[in-house]
Amino acid sequence: MQNDQQKRLLIVVAITTLLWLVWSQFFMGKEAPVPPAADGGVATPLLDAAGPSPAPAPSTVDGGVAAGPEAPVAPAPVPEKKVTFSTETQELVFTNQGGALDTARVKNGGAWPQRKFQSRKKDEKGELQPVDMVRARAGLPLPGSTEIRGELALPFGATYEVEQTGDSVTFRTQTADLSFEKRYRLDPRSYELRVDVTLTNRASAPKQATLALVYPAWLDPKTEETGSFFSPPVESSQAVCRHGDSNESLAGGKEAEKKSFTGPVRFAGFSERYFMGVFFPRFIEGTSCVIDNEPSGSRTATIEVDLGTLAPGQSASRELGLYIGPKSHGELERVSHENLIGAPITPLGQEPQPGTLAKVDPELTKAIDFGWWAVICKVLLEVMKVFQKGVVNWGIAIVLLTVLVKAILYPLSVKQMASMEAMRRLQPQMDALTKKYENDKEKLNMERMRLFQENKVNPFGGCLPLLIQMPVWIALYTTLQNSFELYREPLIGFWISDLTAHDPFYILPLAMGVTMFITQKMQPTMGDPTQAKIMLYFMPIFFTFLMLSLPAGLTLYIFTNNLLSIAQQKYLQRKFARQAEKPKGEKPKGAKK
């Protein structure tokens, strides 16, 4: 979905810019809320039962049928039990139904105290909802649900016994042929969890088994389908899998789709623009992944682990990581590094401790996908980080980035202005050619090109600065859409509280349109005055409409660039006017005699 938006952006901007260049050169110049728990550095566990305990079930044998001559009676349902942990970084609710996550809300972790982690989706009261990386729906397993496949079998919806100890919760279940244990270990100051799974063969013969761990999610297709280039989707999410050196993803679609990949699997799960929940194996052998989506709005990522053939009484254990948090490059890099060196979970903001075992690098930073513009996006982001450290405000950092890019392009801007002035001086001759060959377009174009060559004028000399700015605009848009560093960062709190969202009052897009009109007005008029006037008004109006729903950070960049262009044009116009007034034999000041 992100790539589709980038393609739409590229097509619209490219067509618009090409249109402007041609005209300017030739005719112009979910669930109930969890009870709040106090934030802090220590996890707050809570074990409760969802509803009263049912009456005792009749004695049953394997298969769930009551013993004795009576007619079969369905066994009483096992009551749902939940365990809640509230930490600095997360609010997690585990359920014994599947031994999975029922809620996974992401907090600011103390590292971003001024930023509210909220989704784009509003509740019934019109307020933005907290970021919850569990998107449940009836019929879908919950994140962390496990299935055993092969000659040993355990369904996703199995009910587990629960044991909570300190900062961990353990789920256990067994059948006639197997016993299975799954333990989640938390650190109250990290977005990472460790997941330990152990399968034991209780059968009397060797059995082959494969473990499948899922991270599904559901989003309303109507919510996603309302998005377009001019109105980005309220929610955007993908089922993702990184295997080997490749990233694979599936977003919502009108048709069902399924993809399977062999390992080694680096990570797989659910990814949004600024947050993600993914499992990552802390081993290499025997891993594969499957991602699929359904027209109903569900998308699922599954990690499959081949446990081999287990002898009677033999156990197989595996350790995985689970990251539920922001797609912050620094945080993802830290988690990846500590897993690479085999270190224990490191608290937020601290360096990983020395490890004892060589592990696999989950490459979590690869989940930040800038698409085609990755190189430029990374450069822009790093430059803005440098500026932000000095001025604190990311909006000011974008302004400084604009100044820097404008300064780098200044030599080209001088050439652009010189080319436009040369074209303006040739305008009378071009008008004469137009009148002379008004009925012969081919001859007219040939004579125009001859005129340009004789006077050493490049008709497209003014295009280069704008063509160079296009990738910067697109890359900045992509950076704003995918960089957590800019998420919920304000320019001015009571006005623009989030640079990655549109200006809620539309002040900045309107100001951008006015400044674009001024820059157009300042350029020399060439060609048909009527056509030039049409383009003079069309371009600012079109770009104003375009920016109404695009990120305020991008609009701020273009607005600042327009202001700098106005000042630069005034300066260069005066400079060229002074040069034109000098006698032909007079040498420039400072020139050698």
- Tens digits of per-residue pLDDT, 484-503? 999 999 999 889 999 999 99
| Stretch 120-145: mean pLDDT | 83
Residue 233 — very low, low, confident or very high, per pLDDT cuts 50/70/90?
low
Q: What percent of the chain has pLDDT over 90?
A: 49
Poorest-pLDDT segment among 135-139, 497-501, 586-590: 586-590
Mean pLDDT value across the chain: 81
Residue pair 537/514 in contact (Cβ under 8 Å)? The answer is: no
pLDDT of residue 54: 42
- Distance, CA of 355 to CA of 359 (rounded, Å): 9
Residue 340 — very low, low, confident or very high, per pLDDT cuts 50/70/90?
confident
Residue pair 182/170 in contact (Cβ under 8 Å)? The answer is: yes
Residue pair 126/134 in contact (Cβ under 8 Å)? The answer is: no
pLDDT of residue 161: 96
Residue 7 — very low, low, confident or very high, per pLDDT cuts 50/70/90?
low
Measured at the CA of 430, the angle between CA 458 and CA 533, to 5 degrees, comes to 90
- Owner of token pair 């055993």: 148
| Stretch 399-418: mean pLDDT | 90
pLDDT of residue 217: 92
pLDDT tens for 266-282 read 999 999 999 999 999 99
pLDDT of residue 333: 92
Smallest CA-to-CA distance from 553 within 476, 493, 495, 483 is with: 476
What is the sign of the dihedral through the CA atoms of 419, 425, 429 and 434? positive
pLDDT, greater one: 232 or 292: 292
Q: Is the pLDDT of residue 137 over 80?
A: yes
Strand order in the sheet with 207-218: 146-150, 207-218, 298-310, 287-293, 257-262
What is the sign of the dihedral through the CA atoms of 414, 510, 376 and 485? positive
- Distance, CA of 561 to CA of 528 (rounded, Å): 28
- Distance, CA of 58 to CA of 438 (rounded, Å): 99
Could you say which DSSP state residue 323 is in?
E
| Stretch 20-49: mean pLDDT | 45
Q: Is the pLDDT of residue 51 over 60?
A: no
Q: Is the pLDDT of residue 480 over 70?
A: yes
Out of 198-207, 448-457, 527-536, give the one with best mean pLDDT. 198-207
- Distance, CA of 355 to CA of 332 (rounded, Å): 18
Residue pair 236/227 in contact (Cβ under 8 Å)? The answer is: yes
pTM: 0.79
CATH top-level class for 139-227+234-368? mainly beta
Residue 130 — very low, low, confident or very high, per pLDDT cuts 50/70/90?
confident
Pinpoint the residues of the chain covered by CATH 2.70.98: 139-227+234-368
- Owner of token pair 């009749």: 58
pLDDT of residue 423: 79
Residue pair 469/409 in contact (Cβ under 8 Å)? The answer is: yes
- Distance, CA of 37 to CA of 422 (rounded, Å): 71
pLDDT of residue 432: 87
pLDDT tens for 304-326 read 999 999 999 999 999 999 999 99
Annotate 142-173 with DSSP letters as a single string.
Answer: PTT-EEEEESS-B-TT-B-EEEEETTEEEEEE
Maximal C-alpha separation, the chain: 120
pLDDT, greater one: 493 or 16: 493
Residue 488's region, left for phi above 0, alpha for psi from -120 to 50, else beta, is: left
pLDDT, greater one: 486 or 233: 486
pLDDT of residue 431: 81
Q: Is the pLDDT of residue 77 over 70?
A: no
Smallest CA-to-CA distance from 451 within 468, 439, 476, 434 is with: 434
pLDDT of residue 39: 44
- Distance, CA of 467 to CA of 560 (rounded, Å): 18
